[in-house]
């Protein structure tokens, strides 16, 4: 797949702001991992916030409120994913989690710089920085996610003996604004299994990676060397 020109703004159900070269915090989840009524409720709350912000003058106060509301809604959304006992939890299976983790490492250095990630049973948190294609273009997050999701969905469905959507089409992404926020988000990602009560120490979770704390030459899952891996290259 040819790299797409980096689009600084696009919309589907969630607002996405993607300035070139920015570090991004991305969360993607399994299809059907949240009940439709929960998704509808969260979308309605987000739309209500947007309407309220639309009546405010542009400036620091509007930006502050938008940021606070985004954090609040994301926190609710992520907590529901962590506590939802219904829906698919395919990432509990080591062979599926390994597939997803390996895909993240495979594109590291090719399309993005991988900072950290955590695989939960029904969703993935990842912090990455898209790499430059040339002096003016960067690898688009839409292209990156299409590659990650497309390859893993196809392979996982075959391993599970199923068909249909594997990943939810929509992903959440947030621009990491500064070093302080980067450290906070990285802590959030790495400690997600601890917060969910799955382990006592983050190092005990097998599907957590942090660039600053890992040696990728020895600590990352190996990539499947089958010809299909070219779908991500």
Tokens 């450290």, located at residue: 183
- Domain 19-34+84-217: CATH class, spelled out: alpha beta
Rama region for 84: left / alpha / beta (φ>0; ψ in -120 to 50; rest) = beta
* pLDDT attached to residue 1: 32
Within 10 angstroms of residue 228's Cβ, the number of other Cβ atoms is: 12
Taking the domains of the chain in order of start, what are their residue ranges? 19-34+84-217
Lowest mean pLDDT, pick from 106-120, 148-162, 168-182: 168-182
Is the pLDDT reported for residue 230 higher than 70? no
User: Tell me: the pLDDT tens digits for 132-142?
Assistant: 998 778 999 99
Q: What is the pLDDT of residue 155?
A: 97
pLDDT of 4 > 60? The answer is no
Complete edge-to-edge strand list for the sheet that includes strand 208-210: 172-175, 24-29, 123-130, 112-119, 208-210
Neighbours of 10 (CB within 10 A): 12
Q: Specify the pTM.
A: 0.77
Q: Would you call 178 helix, strand, or coil by DSSP?
A: coil
Over the chain, what is the mean pLDDT?
81
């Amino acid at each position: 797949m040819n790299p797409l020109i980096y689009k600084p703004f696009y919309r589907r159900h969630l607002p996405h702001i993607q300035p070139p070269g920015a570090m991004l915090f991305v969360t993607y989840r399994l299809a059907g991992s949240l009940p439709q009524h929960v998704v509808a409720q969260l979308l309605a709350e987000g739309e209500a916030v947007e309407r309220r912000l639309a009546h405010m003058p542009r400036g620091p106060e509007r930006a502050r409120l938008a940021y606070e509301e985004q954090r609040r809604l994301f926190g609710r959304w992520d907590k529901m994913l962590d506590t939802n006992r219904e829906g698919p939890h395919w990432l509990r299976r080591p062979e599926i989690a390994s597939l997803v983790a390996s895909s993240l490492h495979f594109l590291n250095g090719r399309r993005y710089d991988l900072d950290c990630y955590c695989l939960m049973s029904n969703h993935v948190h990842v912090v990455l920085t898209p790499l430059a294609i040339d002096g003016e273009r960067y690898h688009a997050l839409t292209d990156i996610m299409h590659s990650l999701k497309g390859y893993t969905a196809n392979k996982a469905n075959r391993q599970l003996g199923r068909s249909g959507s594997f990943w939810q089409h929509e992903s959440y992404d947030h621009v990491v604004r500064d070093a302080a926020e980067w450290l906070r988000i990285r802590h959030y990602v790495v400690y997600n299994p601890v917060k969910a009560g799955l382990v006592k120490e983050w190092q005990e979770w097998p599907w957590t990676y942090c660039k600053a704390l890992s040696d990728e030459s020895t600590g990352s899952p190996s990539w499947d060397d089958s010809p299909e891996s070219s779908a991500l290259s």
